[in-house]
Structure 1
Amino acid sequence: MNDIVNDDAGLKHIQKMYKGLTYFDQYGGSIILFVIITIIVILICAYCFVMIHASEIRADWQNNKCKPLVMPFAGLVNAPSGTSMFDYTADNFNQCLYNIQTTIAGEALEPITFVTNALASVIKAIENQLNSIRAMFGKIRTFFKTISQEIMGRIMNVMIPLQKIIISLKDFLSKAQGVMTTGMFTAMGSYYALQALMGAIAEFIILILIAMAIVIAALWAVPLTWGAAGAMTAVFLAISVPMAIIVTFMADVLKVKPGVSIPKIKCFDKNTKLMLKNKSLVKIKDIRIGDILLNDSVVTSVIKVTSKESIMYKLNEVLVSDSHIVFFKDKWIKVAQHPNAIKLPYYDEKYLYCLNTTDKNIIINDTIFADWDDLYGDGLTTFLSKNKLKSGNEIHTQLDCGFAPNTKVRLDNGEYKNMNEIDVGDVLENNIVVYGVVKMDGTNLQEFTIILEGSEIQMGSNTAFHFNGKREMTKVHKEFYHLLTNSTFFYLRNHKFDDYNSCIDSTLEY
């Protein structure tokens, strides 16, 4: 009885052992053996097939060498003499694999190759068209060059006799001056008539030259019109040189000056009151450099100019010249264009006053005016950006320029005055008239000392950079002075210096 029980337990144990087995667990060895035997049989069959047909395969080896049945036995069928059977089989396999990949890759890349060839054809066509266009422009340039040379040649042929005529005319006028001086009292009426005529002619020709300069600048801006620009430049020079002689003659001899000699004055009446930060009201003629205005703007320069030829207006109880710039309804306009501006029928004050400030604004009676430099709105933003300046204050510290108070200036009568003693209306050497004087803050300006004709001259900031001689950096003066002249320049020790407006005008790029 115990044996039966033990047999049942053993049977259950055996059943439990085989219960979780898969088919592969039970017959895996047989399957592997079957697979191996099958592969061996296939290889033997393939070998037999290949060896039976070896001569046929060898006869058409190029077409048969890459067949699946032949590739494993390539070394047995057609191995060259001196080559290992296994090496040749491996080489044959690699060659067949390379040929198959080449064929497949070529077919796969055919669309890309087609697109690439099409793009190459298009680019070649564009290249041919561009070359044709370049050839056309070359012909156009040659054409304009020929025309320009012809025009310049004809102009020069005309101008040489004209220059001789002008020289003769100058000599004639010089002689006529002596005759007119002798008979001055009897020919005064004719003399004044000649003054008016010559002044009108000079002004007319200057306006023509200005118009030509604008046209020439526009032509130079377009490469296709450079030929025409060159021709017009030659005409401009041919006219302007004799005109300069005539204007110089009229200024020195006839005391006639064209009507475009002095720029428009943009200033205030001397009694105009400004409120300072400390709430005090100060007349503009009494404003000092360094004063802080109500809007925290600091006065950097005080300018005094002649009121001659200025048309005055009354705007919000402020007496101001017609061309001064004022902010009105989100834009900047001239005072004369302001709807509330009232033109004064008569104004007899000799001088007007203006300021330069750190924020480039002057606020009077809640009205915003531009300062002397006329930098405002988008123009101010562009100016600061192009000159790499951060604020209006840096316009003063980086671009303002002036001279030490004791700088000697020669007058037309041969006398000398200190720069701070020059007044509006003074006539400097070479008959240059001062129409404005400028006093500026020199605290934050660089100061240089240069030697002219054996004398030292101290000057501030970028004034020195107009001078090519030796200069030495110094720091002595807290105030600098400058001039405004009808010629836009003046002379110190026989050296030419631009007037105060050049400090900004020389850096304007828009």
Structure 2
Amino acid sequence: MDNIKASNFTEYFKKIYEERGYLDKYGIDVFITSIAFFIFFIAISYFYVMSKVEPIRNNWDANKCHPGIIPFAGHIINPPDQTPLEFTTQNFGRCVNQILATIVGQFVKPIYYLGDKVIGFFNKLVGVLQVFRKLMAYIRNKFKKIITHLMNKIVNVFIPVQKIIIKFKDALAKTVGVMTAGLYTVMSGYLALKSFIGSFLSILIAVLILAVVAIIALWILPFTWPLAASGTVFFLLISIPTSIIAGWMIHILNLTSRSVPGKPGKPACFDKNTLVKTISGEIMIKNLKPGMTLNNGIKVNATFKCALNGQKMYKINNVIVSETHKVFHDKLGWIYTSEHPEAIQVKDYTEPYIYCLNTDTKRIEINGIKFLDWDDLEPIDIIKLKNLNYLTHNCSLRNIHKNLDSGLDADTKIELIDGHSISLKKIKVNDHLKFGGKVLAVVKINADDISFIKKYKFNDKILIGAPNILLDDIDLGKLKTLNIPASVIDTKKYKNKYLYHLITDKGTFVANGIKIQDYNSAIENIIDKRDEFLNKF
């Protein structure tokens, strides 16, 4: 290359590619030399192999892939079913595959090694997780045993307490039973005494009447006047104290078993600030008046102002309502408020009064929640009213108020416990009535939609009111005004817009000198629900 003379680098490369190189000049010689060397190698290998053919044949598995032995495999091992060329070709293919497998094995050995390490790492990680799991299971089991042991100890402590409470409850129940039996015994004694005194007075009055007849007969004849005078004095000495004692006993014992105070009531009502939507806007329930129309077209037939009377209050969807009010649940149907899944008890509720309504559909809807109105008429009760022929099967529920509601004239006289008489419309909740107990609720009823106002006359006593009033008077007996004739007052000419009624802890009160049942009796006596309403109040 030293004979190349170039003035620049480009011409130098041109001369390299333009002039002939070594292989161009001597390529054929190199090829012939290589062939000669190959033939020489084959010849040397052949003579070497043939000189050591027995040791090679004896250790054929170790020598069969030696480069110098591969070309002569068919001459070293000559199977009877193959020619030397076929065996040599077969051996060559096997050796090539073996050599390639060895080369590839060496190439992928690091990958296998890395894979083994990764697998080993994850196996150890799984082992650690298994140990951790066993540890957590051990801790859980020990904790469970500790809790179980503690609960067993607690149960061992509380079971005797529970037994004591059960025995105490049983003792109280037995005490109540004994007291109830005693009360009935006293009542039986009282009624027996009353019957005895009544019989004795009847006999005594008969004797006195006979004595009067005899004395009158004695005064007719002059010669018997001294005897008549003595008889008259004796009659006066007997009759005057007897009359006083008889009058006093009749006044004191003028009681019936119905006059025994009942269990204090549980009204089903709402908090006074409950907002009710009307066609005039939202109004607090305490300000609603009978005759108002709610926004869904339902008309208010009556309003109730009730004493709280120990009732628990609950909140459902921001509506505060008493525990015994019936509310509709999509899955449970009509249930008590206290049983509603979303009901939350209002602690320390201190309002003295709660309020309720009667409507012409017997339903109240507040904040999207459906409630029954005061009468608590479920669908089965409506069916019963229809089956009893008080309602036709295709009539509107508005007919319940129209034909079956109760109520008295606002000016009906009610006697208080102090002997003072006032108008029914002036009675307040918690007032104490003479012969009527305590007022638990005042009911104000819309008179416009009543079918008719009647004037009922009982001897010299008069009641004015709705069609359905129940009497429970000692002289008049038990009467339903639905079944007795009376003069009708045109509702359009009736002077008062509202009728009134009461609910008492005895279930009765005296109005215009007549003992009547309270408002709850209007519907309950028809559908035979007295026990349910007594539980309500």
Q: TM-score, normalised by structure 1?
A: 0.49
Q: Which has the larger radius of gyration?
A: 2
